[in-house]
Structure 1
């Protein structure tokens, strides 16, 4: 059955849609479905996308294609709308670089079913649903009417009130009134008297907490900023602009053009009536205008004409997925409580693991959980939703349920509520997607259009589901080990889940999820049921397995309620977590995929345990892993072999205790600020900081050596740590020179992946992928930029030169250095090598190695998948090659015994 995955789109949520579409593409059952990726660009054009572009980190990494981008001396990345009104021929030529342009009428020849992963306007408002209905293509989720209701928060609020649901008090406010020059002091008083205090300023047609601000201080300036944010207006005064440095101006423009945090591009200068398309053009416009004018007011071309001011509901926030049974009756899955560090559940908290906690079911009395469930089902029916919905709300301290954000779709990132709650009834992501497709076809049959054809489609699907469930085909059993006890444990879980999901939807492997916790002295291994596997982060999983005392009564009740659904898709499911030994693990599986990062995965200690039982595993062997985990030792060995590394030294806690400030003076005598400080045996950008002065060096030292708390301390403030930022405490850390451009004509940071295989002679040979150019918005690449979909900006392949004829000379020199590093360190399986590259006038290049990761991150957004795609490997193919190498390596070892 051909499933067209429609993703991307024109809304501000296009990056989450893009990432969600990739999740669906990877997780659909390969035994039942053929996937067809259909990307919708921000002009609304449909593109049959070449599969390799699905694995780019963001839309802007591949579209518009690099050769169509106007020159940007400041390196601004843009969406296609920033190219202005292009002629049709140029738009078509652009599309041909990434796929094939198709018209909606072509879809019926390409697909049997449309899986909608679009968000916001044009995606969940009934528009595309109507287009698919017109072309007789069944699609996922709700139909036209409920979708139109679901996107319109004004209509929602009226219908919700008419049906006697509790909801926040609200008023609306028009942009035309605001632009006439309203008195913010009077407005503050008006909003407070109308809805109470604190209150929420909300853009009514956006999702992912875009355009939302909680006003918790009676501050006129903050209200002004909040109103502008929701109207997608941005004011900048000459007094503010002209005091900014050139770097600060560039950063301000980059933030403004971000469609999630800023107003996006193109923009209209409201006061001058001029439309500006590109960030470079905007930067020049601001410099010119604010040299003679007091202020500039910018307005997004995609904006809100009227916004909502609503009361802030005090209580526990929750989100609940509602699905339906065979007869179309709604069933609420266990609602999830949200524990967050900010006033509201913002974009970063929603999508980055570890930034908030999702507790399922919400931690309140059982009768209140059932009240939430019944109210969500009642709202689902009231608004005539179909197939599934996500309904958000609050429960007050008095036990009143307030429902304020029903959505006809949900984010489909691996850690989204969509999969998180389905796991509580035993469905893994692949199975839940199959359920969504099957239930959606049932709903389309009810519409009375093409009913016979859709019934035939349903019968064919049912036969395939039954055959797949009852298949006796033997698969290779692979334990996917994730978690750990380092600062990288949350990313490890994201990597492990991604590997598990890729293998779950394959025809070759049967994955077993295993969580590792404990300490260096004792590794504790736990087999995970799917609901615990999809808990929010590593700490939640650890708590569940360590303190497991049976299932929550609410979960057991809902599992029985949905048994007729889960039994169709699931057989022999793991119900409870179980602690096992390495010996017991060896009796259960044929091999292991180590998805751990840092210790104890990358240091050789787990490999040592696996080799005791002849268990094949991914990645490098014991000795190589012990070297690469130690950045200082890695640098020392590479330098001995003539490979460029940064000047570096170790700093030990005992030195600090003995010498104090004298140690800082000693460091300053050997290094010039700014310098880089980082743990010598951690990765994932945890505690990697650019240190600009002694105060920051002292603060870093005190935090690393445990002299101050990570959260809320003076040193934390000096370093500007974010809420809940991981910062490991150790007895030593590494200082390095900040590698700079020097006298090179071009300078960039790259990350390069590699893979190994055995050649015909049984020797290891290396395949070096084209490195990605990593663009950091701050001083160093952040955790989000490396691993969170839609955040990092990576150009693959890296842009070493502007001249294509010179490119291969530089690229081959870089690849040769990376290969040399791999050979010197005896890396096997796969790895990621980070480096800086200097390119000089004669196109001679110098590659300075930063670090080597023997078990690199394997989250869906990591750039190693962008690189393997260039060489023709889908993520599953890459994972399959890694596992195959490990199995072959173990066979060769056993053959020598």
Structure 2
């Protein structure tokens, strides 16, 4: 059956949609379905996407393609809408670089079923559902009417009030009312009516976009919250002129971010125009200024120039998104425990609530980042309440599912107060589909892995569309065909290579390791060759503890959740009674779609592991994993593994030793030295002075023996040096708040404790004509003579939003900005010449450090006026991140490898190395 996966779209959630579409593409059962990727761009064009672009980190990494982008010096990537008004011919030229345009009338010939991974307006509002119905194409999820209702928070609130269902009290503010109102009086009215705190929402956006919480009666903060929900931004002359050029760039990056900012294009109105708008609101006969009479700005650089120009002469300007909102929904704050519950239809078409998940956080809001970045919030399934209360939540969610007429599945959010009172709000007819989202996380609790859950949803959606009267004869045939294929698949016996995928660990990159491990698991589990076995590693450097995980534990939110669940089960705690109940209720689903019943985590020794599996994929980052210790254990039991051997790994984990060896071999690296705690303990002042003498500010400080981006900081002054030193040498687990503030650490950013750290000179442009940061992957092969050959891929250019690339930017969907291949020059021949020189340097690094299998090397590249190329190596990762969004997959795609092909080559290399019994240590 041909499954068209619709992803991307025009909404502010397009990056999560893109990442979710990739998850669906990867996890569709290859023996049942053929995936057809239909990328929807921000103008609503349907594009049959070439497969290699599915594995880009973000939409902006490939669309619009570099050839279509205007020249800019700013490190800001643009979406398609920033290209301005384009003719159909110009759009087609751009589309042809990534795939081909599909007219809606062609869809019925291309696919049997549409799986909708689109979010927000034009995705889950009934619009695309109506288009598909017009052409008689069955699709996933709810139909037209419930979808339209599911996107409209105001309509939902009114119905809940009319039905006397508990929902927070609310008021509406229209944009026109806001422009004419006195903010102080409006705030006083809202506080009087709803109390504090107040919650502000954009009524037709999903995923916590445009949401704020106001905890105090502060007029300035109130205005900011209203503007956030309307997708506007007022900038004053004083604010703007106080910013440095670097700060303006960072401000701009945040503003054009469609998730946290307002995006582009924007209408710019200065003080005089805002007064004209206010006058027009008070005079019905007056003509309000239009977008055309003001300043419509499409591109970041254009916006920066306009702000500089206008704010030189006017007191304030207001920026309004062209895709903003016209109303703000203001709700009273509900004090209580927050939960989210996926409801599905069972085989009889009745709603079945899966175990609700509690979202555990501090005072902060459960916003877009908290939802999608591992480790930023805790998700506990089921919510920690008595069984009777959980059952009340489930029954309320099932009732709302029926009341709103939802079909197939929905995600319902709510609160339970200290008094036990339930509030349900913000139902979603499409849930986020990242590997560990609520969607898959809760399905795993009844024993369905992502691949099985998707099969169930496709089957249930076909039945729902047929019930709704869509082509009943044709859909009856499709249902019969799918049922027969599912039954045949369940009965067939397959002998597959068993691969232990080891993930987790105890480094500050443990959450990224789990993301990598899950991605490897999913790529292998939907293949016909491999049977992956998820294994979680915890413990310490003195004792590794290995646990074979069931699917529901593997899909917990992050490494800490997994470890907690493993320890809870190991302590002898029984399965939560609500889970037993739900699994019984779901037997009609799981008996058809699940391969095996859910189990408990089980501890195994290395010897037992060697008896269970044929080989190992190490998905760990930092220590342990990249340091050779785990490799030594696996070699003892003859288990083939991925990546470099013991000695090479023990060198590359140590950034100081890596730099030293590369410098001795004649390669360029930063000046560096180790800064030890003993030296600081003896005399802190001379410790600081010694570093300042050798390294003028700003310089880089980072752990020497951890993974890639953890606690890497640009140190600009003595206060920051002291804060960094105190944090990394601290004896307690918790961070010191004052020092964390000095270093501008992000929310829940990890900072390891070490006995020494590495200090390096800051690598800068140094007068070069062109300067960029790159990351390059490589893969090794044996040739026919048994010699090691190194294939170096085209490097990616990395754009950091902060002073250094963060962990999230490197690995998480929708976060990083990477351009592959790197833009060394505008002229193609010159770009290729520089690229070959860079690849040659990266190959030398791999040879000097005896790298095997695969690796990622980070570097800076300077291209001088005379064409000379300088490559300065930053670090080497012997087990690079393998999350779905990591740029190594962009690079392998250019070389013709799908992610699965790449993983397969890595595993085959490890197996051949063991068969050859080639030593992995070098004398």
TM-score of the superposed pair, with normalisation by structure 2: 0.96
Distance 2:150 2:565 in 1: 35
Which position in structure 2 is the counterpart of 1:507? 528
Which position in structure 1 is the counterpart of 2:276? none
Alignment partner of 1:802 is 2:823:
no
Q: Quick check: 1:832–1:853 contact (8 Å CA) kept in 2? A: yes
Which position in structure 2 is the counterpart of 1:148? 148
Alignment partner of 1:517 is 2:538:
yes
- The DSSP-based 3-state class of the residue aligned with 1:878 is helix
Within-5 A mapping of 1:258-657: 258-270=257-269, 271=273, 273-548=294-569, 549-657=573-681
CA distances 1:364-390 after superposition (whole Å, capped 9, x unpaired): 121111111000000000000000000
Distance 1:536 1:342 in 2: 20
Unmatched segments (≥5 aa) in structure 2: 274-292
Which position in structure 1 is the counterpart of 2:42? 42
For the structure 1 residues 33 and 825, does the alpha-carbon distance in structure 2 shift closer, same or farther, using more than 3 Å as the test? same
Q: Quick check: 1:702–1:708 contact (8 Å CA) kept in 2? A: no
Which position in structure 2 is the counterpart of 1:841? 865
Which position in structure 1 is the counterpart of 2:157? 157
Offset at residue 74 of structure 1 (A): 1.9
Distance 1:244 1:570 in 2: 57
Which position in structure 1 is the counterpart of 2:892? 868
Q: Please, which moves more after superposition, 91-100 or 234-243?
A: 234-243
Which position in structure 2 is the counterpart of 1:71? 71
Offset at residue 659 of structure 1 (A): 2.1
Distance 2:41 2:473 in 1: 34
Distance 2:800 2:688 in 1: 28
- The DSSP-based 3-state class of the residue aligned with 1:228 is helix
Distance 1:895 1:698 in 2: 45
Distance 2:735 2:724 in 1: 13
Q: Quick check: 1:759–1:765 contact (8 Å CA) kept in 2? A: yes
Offset at residue 710 of structure 1 (A): 4.0
CA distances 1:605-634 after superposition (whole Å, capped 9, x unpaired): 111111111111100111111111111111
Which position in structure 1 is the counterpart of 2:902? 878
- The DSSP-based 3-state class of the residue aligned with 2:668 is coil
Distance 1:281 1:269 in 2: 11
Distance 1:163 1:885 in 2: 63
Offset at residue 894 of structure 1 (A): 8.3
Q: Please, which moves more after superposition, 333-342 or 579-588?
A: 333-342
Within-5 A mapping of 1:80-99: 80-99=80-99
CA distances 1:69-106 after superposition (whole Å, capped 9, x unpaired): 11213243211111111111111100001100011110
Distance 2:244 2:224 in 1: 22
Which position in structure 1 is the counterpart of 2:778? 754
Which position in structure 1 is the counterpart of 2:747? 723
- The DSSP-based 3-state class of the residue aligned with 1:39 is strand
Which position in structure 1 is the counterpart of 2:229? 230
For the structure 1 residues 359 and 393, does the alpha-carbon distance in structure 2 shift closer, same or farther, using more than 3 Å as the test? same
Distance 2:724 2:56 in 1: 34
Which position in structure 1 is the counterpart of 2:789? 765
Unmatched segments (≥5 aa) in structure 1: none
Distance 1:278 1:402 in 2: 42
Q: Quick check: 1:321–1:391 contact (8 Å CA) kept in 2? A: yes
Which position in structure 1 is the counterpart of 2:18? 18
Alignment partner of 1:829 is 2:853:
yes
Q: Quick check: 1:76–1:280 contact (8 Å CA) kept in 2? A: no
- The DSSP-based 3-state class of the residue aligned with 2:115 is strand
- The DSSP-based 3-state class of the residue aligned with 2:909 is helix
Offset at residue 717 of structure 1 (A): 1.7
| Counterpart among 793, 804, 809 of residue 785 in structure 1 | 809
Offset at residue 712 of structure 1 (A): 4.6
CA distances 1:307-328 after superposition (whole Å, capped 9, x unpaired): 1110110000000000011111
For the structure 1 residues 509 and 460, does the alpha-carbon distance in structure 2 shift closer, same or farther, using more than 3 Å as the test? same
Q: Quick check: 1:684–1:786 contact (8 Å CA) kept in 2? A: no
Offset at residue 713 of structure 1 (A): 2.5
Distance 2:295 2:690 in 1: 56
Q: Quick check: 2:552–2:598 contact (8 Å CA) kept in 1? A: no
User: Aligned-pair RMSD on alpha carbons?
Assistant: 1.3
Distance 2:454 2:736 in 1: 42
Q: Please, which moves more after superposition, 695-704 or 111-120?
A: 695-704
Q: Quick check: 2:45–2:101 contact (8 Å CA) kept in 1? A: yes
Q: Quick check: 2:344–2:352 contact (8 Å CA) kept in 1? A: yes
Alignment partner of 1:179 is 2:161:
no
Distance 1:342 1:874 in 2: 42
TM-score of the superposed pair, with normalisation by structure 1: 0.98
Q: Quick check: 1:163–1:382 contact (8 Å CA) kept in 2? A: no
CA distances 1:427-460 after superposition (whole Å, capped 9, x unpaired): 1111111111110011111022211111111111
Q: Please, which moves more after superposition, 182-191 or 423-432?
A: 182-191
Q: Quick check: 2:75–2:801 contact (8 Å CA) kept in 1? A: no
Distance 1:628 1:186 in 2: 62
Offset at residue 709 of structure 1 (A): 5.8
Offset at residue 743 of structure 1 (A): 2.1
- The DSSP-based 3-state class of the residue aligned with 1:172 is strand
Which position in structure 2 is the counterpart of 1:193? 192
- The DSSP-based 3-state class of the residue aligned with 2:382 is coil
Which position in structure 2 is the counterpart of 1:855? 879
| Counterpart among 859, 875, 888 of residue 912 in structure 2 | 888
CA distances 1:171-207 after superposition (whole Å, capped 9, x unpaired): 1111001112x22211111111222211101100111
Alignment partner of 1:662 is 2:686:
yes
Distance 1:479 1:297 in 2: 56
Offset at residue 574 of structure 1 (A): 4.8
Offset at residue 636 of structure 1 (A): 0.8
Which position in structure 2 is the counterpart of 1:108? 108
Alignment partner of 1:817 is 2:838:
no
Distance 2:379 2:774 in 1: 34
Offset at residue 342 of structure 1 (A): 4.2
Distance 2:552 2:405 in 1: 29
**Alignment coverage as a number of residue pairs:** 895
Distance 1:391 1:187 in 2: 31
For the structure 1 residues 485 and 343, does the alpha-carbon distance in structure 2 shift closer, same or farther, using more than 3 Å as the test? closer
Offset at residue 214 of structure 1 (A): 0.3
Distance 2:71 2:807 in 1: 29
- The DSSP-based 3-state class of the residue aligned with 2:445 is helix
Distance 1:74 1:723 in 2: 26
Offset at residue 239 of structure 1 (A): 1.9
Distance 1:856 1:811 in 2: 21
- The DSSP-based 3-state class of the residue aligned with 2:917 is helix
Within-5 A mapping of 1:119-158: 119-158=119-158
Q: Please, which moves more after superposition, 457-466 or 825-834?
A: 457-466
